[in-house]
Amino acid sequence: MDQTPLPSPIHYELLLQLLERQTLLSVDKNPALRDQVQQLIITLRKAFAQQRQIEAIFEQAKIPYEHRWSLNSLEIEAELLPEILRAIEDGKTEDREIAS
């Protein structure tokens, strides 16, 4: 069974930190904007809590899931990884095609 993709928790954490530490301070003198930012923070906290609930349900049901960092999924065969890393370290990725 394929793993169900879910956003990495770091996405929520980074957004919340940015909004709480920087955006709120920036709009502090504008009550209407401050309220909107606070509502956004509340919404993100609810979404993060809901995702944790989904993860708990998956775990109870033994449904595999994985956290994703982006929409792009890179599937690399395990035996190719050392060759790819060597090519990157050697700076030879431009003129070299890695055999699959």
| Ranges in the chain, pLDDT < 70 | 1, 73-81, 84-85, 91-100
CA distance 45 to 87: 42
Would you list the DSSP string of 32-84? HHHHHHHHHHHHHHHHHHHHHHHHHHHHHTT--EEEESSS------TTTHHHH
pLDDT of 86 reads 74
pLDDT digits (tens, 9 = 90+) for 6-28: 988 988 999 999 999 999 999 99
Model pLDDT, residue 80: 63
- Residue 2, pLDDT score: 86
Domain boundaries, the chain: 4-71
Alpha carbon 33 to its chain centroid, in Å, reads: 27
Does this model's pTM top 0.85? My answer is: no
- Find the helix or strand (DSSP H, E) in which 7 lies: strand 4-7
Whole-number Å distance between alpha carbons of 63 and 66: 10
